[in-house]
Structure formats: C-alpha cells, structure tokens
A and B are shown apart, each in its own frame.
Chain A
Amino acid sequence: MEMLDRYLQAVRRHLPWLRQDDIIAELRANLEAQLEDKEAELGRKLTNAEMEVWLKQLGSPIQVAARYQPQQYLIGPALFPIYRFVLRLALGWCAVIFCIAKTVEIVSKGQGIDALAGVIFQLPWILFINAAVVTLIFAILQRSGAQIPEKFAQGAAMGNDWPHAPAAARDVWADGQKKPKSYAQAVAEVIFGWILLVWMLLVPHYPYLLMGPGVIILKVAPYQLAPVWWTFYWCIVVIAAVELAWRIIDLLQERWQEPHTAQHLVKSLLGLIPLLVVLAAPGRVLTVLKNPADNAHAAALAQINHWLYRGFEIVAAIVVLQLLWTVGQISVEAYRKRLAAAR
C-alpha cells in the first residue's frame, strides 16, 4: 500500500488543485478495489516487484493526471481553419511588404550585396514574429472562447457551418441584401485593422512604407508638408483606432453580423473630420518651402497649394454626397420598416 500511496501522491501533484482531493479519493477507492481483486486471484499479497509492474501499467503519474485536465488547445479545431487562413494572409503580406520596403531602402541608400544578405537573414525572423503575434491573438480568442463555450461554439460555427445557416438567414441573402459577415471575415478584419494601425504609426518614422521609392522625391524637393498634415495624420490614426476598437467589441459581443447603421453613420461623419482639418488650413497652405527665402519656387508652391486644396474640396464634396446618400438610404429603410410594422 505504501507504494500505491506514493503513486497517488505523485498523481495529486499534477491534478487541478481545486479537485485533487476528490479525484485522489475516487482513484484510491478504484485502485484499491482492483488491487484486492488481484490479490484475491493470487491468494496472496503482491510483492514489491509485482506492485511496481502494476503501477507502471497504470501509466506515469503525469499521464494519469493529465486525463483529468480539461482538453486544452492552443488553437482548437473550431478556430484552426480560420487561424490557418489568416496566418497565410498575414505571412504572405508581411513578406511582400518587407521585401518592397527593404528593396526601396537598399536602392535609395545605394547599399550593396551585404544589405541584401541581411534582408534574407532577417526575413525568417520577421515572419516568425508575425506568425507568433497571429498565433497569440488566436490563442487569446480560443481562451476567451473556452471560458464562454456556448457563445464560442455559435461563433465558430457561423464561420464554418454556412450550408446549415438558418433558413431565415438564407432568405435575407436571397432578397438581395448584403450577405452577413462570417466569423472568419470578422476576425480577419480585426487582425488587418491592427496591422493597418501599426503600419500607420510606423509611417512617420519610415516614410517609404507609404511612398515607396517616391520618398526620394520628398528628400530632394524644395517643398515640405505644412504642419496641418500632422493634425490630419493623427485624426486618421484615431479613426483607425476607434474602428478597430469597434470591431473588437463587436467580435467579443458576437455582434459582427448585426447591422450597425448608427456605427456606419458615425464612421462616415468621422471620415469628414480629417478632410475638414485640411480645408481649414490657415491661408489654404498645405505645402511650404523648406527654405522660406527660396523665391525661385514660390510661384510653383502657390500652384501646388491651389490644386492640392482644390483636390481636397472635390474629395470632401464626394464624401458629403456619400454621407447624404447613406442618410437617405437609412431614412428610406426606416420608413419601409415602419410601414411594414403598421400593416
């Protein structure tokens, strides 16, 4: 019995601590009954060697205890296909963006073969970090899903189980309305929203991420962007962050398939803010001379500012028209629903 006690103590160490007393008591009762049967068959007590063989047959304490743990996945079967899809996309785009950015850097700085070799060695690490980040995000999603399994099961099924979508949902599509967003799409939007935000935050430090080889023109040109562009930039960043936060909240609250009329309207309105910021630039000046005393380029600067400003006026007009169109659509839809409810 002493050997069995030690075996059970070893199992206990690897059990979930809240349930270990209960599990050990039950395991002890079962194993002792089994041992009694063995001894009754033999007509004697088991020798230490026989006891050792029997306990070995039962399995190592870690293995025995592991069976009592809830099934644990880093990324479970429901989420894995989406994970694989997003990982492929993220790795592919990461490799493309990295290669383009590095090529531009090498060409613009006139670096040689050493820099190219450095890129080749860097790429696997970049991809590895990218894969680790995507995996971490999905592991968090899996973990939060495991804590609310009934909601998670519904969510995961929506992505994978489309042929069995409720008839009501199919009817909506058949009516020509927009197909509801799948779980995979919603997750991909969050991940790409996050990548976009990081990219935007990196642009001021690495302008070639935005302009590619065109960054050389910025360096040699006698003009530079006016300070209003910083306000414009931060407006865009805040809007991207708000949109990402919305998407994450929708995902966590399982509302990614619900129509977000108000959200859509607010997004359109927010989109106007950076345009208004540019249009309100003092003196309609969007670019300035690097050297204010450079009279040779003053005339060209005035032309650039004029056409840039005119361009922004046109864009703002298009956005306002789009906004009015959206408000009109929402109003018509609300009116239609009110009529339908009245009948």
Chain B
Amino acid sequence: MTLAENLFENLRLELRRGCLTLAVLAQLKEEHYGYTLRKALASRGMEIDENTLYPLLRRLEAQGLLTSEWREEDKRNKRFYRLSTDGQEIFARLLKEWNDINTAITNLL
C-alpha cells in the first residue's frame, strides 16, 4: 500500500467510524441480534465487518444506548438488541448533527 493509499484508508476509516455508530443506532429502532443486524445494514449499503459490529454492540450497550436480552429463536439462544430510551434521545441528537454536517458539506461543495 502506498503512502497516499494508506493515508486515504486511515481517513476513510476515521470518517466511517462515527457513521457506523449512527447506522447501528438507526437500524436498532427495530430489534435485531448481531448477525441479522449485520445483514440488514449490508442490505442498505452499510457493510460492517463482524469484528467491528459485535464489539460495537457491546460498547453501545455498556454506554446505555442499547438494551439487550437473551432469547431463543430457531432453537438457538441469541442476544437481541434495541435502542434504549437514552439511546433514542442520543440518536435523535446525533441525527440532527449528521444532517447539519451534511448540509454544511453540501453547501461547501
């Protein structure tokens, strides 16, 4: 990887990092477990590596933005996540921030 590519990759990852959290919070207005969440995000154009998504879910839960419960589905125990009340509030504020940034960038271009 050349220096320029490396730089681009770092900047791209930095740009994506915050967006991933927003995407996960947006998708978890409906309940999902890890794998179906990943599929749902991918089907809407937001591919997330499993090694990023699954730990991210735990961090967001530890921060109080998600709630989770273990439940059996298709004869298998799965951990289902959804937005918590605090998560809904934070998500709404983040979404506004996202829209403001989007508008500002569009104006700049």
Contact = CB atoms under 8 A, between A and B. Distances in A.
Contact of B50 (A25, A29, A37, A58): A58
Given A25-B77, A68-B58, A30 B33 contact: yes
Interface stretch (A59-67, A75-83, A87-95): A59-67
B78 interface: yes
A327 interface: no
A26 B50 contact: no
Given A33-B35, A34-B35, A68-B58, A26 B79 contact: yes
Contacts of A59: 51
A32 to B, nearest CB: 7
B51 A58 contact: yes
Interface in A246-288: none
A29 B51 contact: no
Contacts of A31: 35, 50
B77 A68 contact: no
Contacts of B79: 25-26, 29
Interface in A320-337: none
Nearest to A32: B76
Contacts of A58: 50-51
Interface in B1-56: 33-36, 38, 50-52, 54-55
A123 B50 CA distance: 49
A198 to B, nearest CB: 41
Interface residues on A, range: 10 to 19
A224 B71 CA distance: 85
Nearest to A22: B79
Interface residues on B, range: 10 to 19
Contacts of B33: 29-30, 33
Contacts of A37: 35
B51 A63 contact: yes
B54 A30 contact: yes
Given A34-B35, A58-B50, A29 B55 contact: no
Nearest to A69: B55
Interface in B63-77: 70, 76-77
A74 interface: no
Contacts of A32: 76
Given A26-B34, A30-B35, A67 B52 contact: yes
Contacts of A165: none
A27, A34, A67 — which one has the most chain B CB atoms within 10 A of its CB?
A67
A133 to B, nearest CB: 32
Contact of A26 (B38, B52, B54): B54
Interface string B94-105: 000000000000
Nearest to B37: A30
Contacts of A29: 33-35, 76-79
Given A26-B34, A29-B34, A33-B35, A67 B51 contact: yes
B107 to A, nearest CB: 25
Given A29-B79, A33-B35, A67-B55, 14 more contacts: A26-B78, A27-B54, A29-B35, A29-B77, A30-B35, A30-B38, A30-B78, A33-B33, A33-B76, A58-B50, A58-B51, A67-B54, A68-B55, A68-B58
Interface of A: 23, 25-27, 29-34, 37, 58-59, 63-64, 67-68
Interface of B: 33-36, 38, 50-52, 54-55, 58, 70, 76-79
29 contacts: A23-B58, A25-B77, A25-B79, A26-B34, A26-B54, A29-B33, A29-B34, A29-B76, A29-B77, A29-B78, A30-B34, A30-B38, A30-B54, A30-B78, A31-B35, A31-B50, A33-B35, A33-B36, A33-B76, A34-B35, A34-B50, A58-B50, A58-B51, A59-B51, A63-B51, A64-B51, A67-B54, A68-B55, A68-B58
